[in-house]
Structure 1
């Protein structure tokens, strides 16, 4: 199956990003940017040290309209009203794989599909292709059972309830084939096996986590040692389910990804493992971090490895020098941060029901800022919305500053991953339910 034709982005852009010509910006604003018109020109603008100043708009770019009015219940407090209003301003139109004609929170799902968090800034997406979902779900279960012996029989319901097929099909709408989708799906399942078995739900513990993670990481970033000890390391990769899953998923990934894409993924997985270790250290010390410290940890312990491989799953490559640009790294980082706070919010009640104290943003804000559980949760929604707003503003500015086909497609892919991640969290009522704060 060939990759679907992608709708060009529709960024809202400040004048500071308009140095590549009025014709490029006008086309982008009209959702009809002709990428061929810029191919062969200087690939990107110089990297700016500060974000563009959004004080003056180019005449060819429409001003972002005010968001639609939201009905606030009588007697609602000011904090709730502010959250329900949502963000506005430059960049909030974002970068979409398909156009959006309706307001971002207009679609109201049925109870069976789960409800979005009131006031949470997000973009509705179509239900993932059921044919692809069924095939990916079939293949991933076969891989988990037959290739890596990932879980015992009594974990089957939880594996099915995770709905990883729906998750990955929804997050990667431009994947050209099922094989490409399986690259992301195996890695997602392997990462969750490490999290569950080493850190949390299924026997995980902060005690000794560093050693376990280091050995598991060698399944992604191979050990180069002497002939005497190499066989012992190779045998260790089959010692437990997380290492078996990492080894197999990475083998499939490197069979498709370029060396640069593979190295990029290893780097982001090291970031993830560092975040695991920080959270484990706080758990051992029974320490609740400051809010800014928690957000720093969440920039590492987050979903970043998933959107960073969007080009591999899409069947193309964002060149290493473009991926490494500070403005691209900022966009990817903000995407990872926003999507991870989505997880904090939707998993809030699930984590409250788990034994012990589980750190998430509402819990940290409540303790560190002396707020009620409800007010801390509502403030966490605001934090998410600010991160989403910043993500879309930075992505729009980068799309204008770097009108290269692979950059444009990568940014649209990351935006699609952000939207798909929310859709999965909202609709996965097997795992998640909302607190009664409204």
Structure 2
């Protein structure tokens, strides 16, 4: 039985669940890489990381990736979750926006110096594990894809770090942002734009720049990020609302403040916004698909997997414990690799 009286609202996904055939290998690679890079050194943190099954999330969101692409995505996701937990969601008592800004500058400086050296600089030239690991990710991506794909990834990563600073500043002031401000901030903080920047590389091809930058394609990417970010906010609401060390800044909280809603009403309003974005995605995707070549169709299929994959993982992961906090929670459909 849930510990609260909240009921999980319905989130609609008219896409079938999928999972990469090498999901178990991806999970093992993610955990080994995070430990080897020094991102996780505490055994309790490692155990919590393992229980969350982030590798399964990657396998669900990238079901058609190459083996190397799956490993790259696992490394990126491990990095994002470690950085997010350490510096954004669960910062120490003496942590503030200035410290976060310096951490962001350290990782970006390490990457820029490595790029300036033509990747001749070894990832170990910095003592910061997050900086060193991100340099290693960039080096790997540079060998797999083109310079254009690497620059897409770095642009998305910079915007993620800017979003992290905006969130930190918002939490520090104690101000609940207006809905439109929160939506803008959440778009960059959810991490999905980073994933979408490497989606084609992970699948073993390069989406031409004119197609990647097409306004309709970018709109589909933005909707995908809204869907995953808002689904995250609904599914993690119980943890954030009850956890003593959590940063409780999410869409239901923002809607409750802006519209004087109860928690359940705010959860339902968040679900309606989510489902409206799914409907908007389907309408626009139909128009784009009518003129898409095989590469763009593959990319669009990846967007669908990104949305559905996050939902199925979010329902089951120990990170959110949806069944503990909500009644009406369903089990994700089982898919076998």
TM-score when scaled to structure 1?
Answer: 0.67
Q: 2:284 aligns with which of 389, 394, 399?
A: 394
Residue correspondence of structure 1 range 79-158 to structure 2 within 5 A: 117-123=8-14, 125-126=16-17, 128-129=19-20, 132-148=22-38, 150-158=40-48
Q: Distance in 2 between matches of 1:241 and 1:277?
A: 20
Show the counterpart of 2:63.
173
Which secondary structure does the structure 1 equivalent of 2:322 belong to? Answer: coil
Show the counterpart of 1:159.
49
Deviation at 1:189, TM superposition (A): 0.5
Show the counterpart of 2:169.
281
Determine whether 1:316 maps to 2:205.
yes
Q: Distance in 2 between matches of 1:225 and 1:399?
A: 39
Aligned length: 316
Show the counterpart of 2:105.
214
State the structure with bigger RCO (CA 8 A, min sep 6), 1 or 2. 2
Give the structure with the larger helix fraction.
2
Show the counterpart of 1:345.
234
Q: Distance in 2 between matches of 1:225 and 1:143?
A: 25
Residue correspondence of structure 1 range 191-206 to structure 2 within 5 A: 191-201=80-90, 203=92, 205-206=96-97
Deviation at 1:436, TM superposition (A): 4.0
Cα offsets for 1:166-221 (capped at 9, x unmatched): 11111111113x22200111011111121122222263643421121122123444
Change (3 A) 1:245 1:353: farther
Cα offsets for 1:349-375 (capped at 9, x unmatched): 111122365110001111111111110
Change (3 A) 1:244 1:150: farther
Determine whether 1:414 maps to 2:303.
yes
Deviation at 1:282, TM superposition (A): 0.9
Q: What CA RMSD, in Å, does the superposition of the two structures yield over aligned residues?
A: 2.6
Larger Cα Rg: Structure 1 or Structure 2?
Answer: 1
Which secondary structure does the structure 1 equivalent of 2:193 belong to? Answer: coil
Q: Structure 2 regions of 5+ residues with no counterpart?
A: 329-337
Show the counterpart of 2:155.
267
Cα offsets for 1:292-338 (capped at 9, x unmatched): 11111112212211123211111111011211111111111110111
Determine whether 1:239 maps to 2:130.
no
Q: Distance in 1 between matches of 2:86 and 2:59?
A: 25
Which secondary structure does the structure 2 equivalent of 1:306 belong to? Answer: helix
Which secondary structure does the structure 1 equivalent of 2:180 belong to? Answer: helix
Q: Distance in 2 between matches of 1:415 and 1:220?
A: 31
The answer to whether the 8 A contact 1:338-1:384 is kept is yes
Determine whether 1:368 maps to 2:258.
yes
TM-score when scaled to structure 2?
Answer: 0.85
Deviation at 1:236, TM superposition (A): 8.1
Q: Distance in 2 between matches of 1:162 and 1:219?
A: 29
Show the counterpart of 1:294.
182
Q: Distance in 2 between matches of 1:437 and 1:206?
A: 36
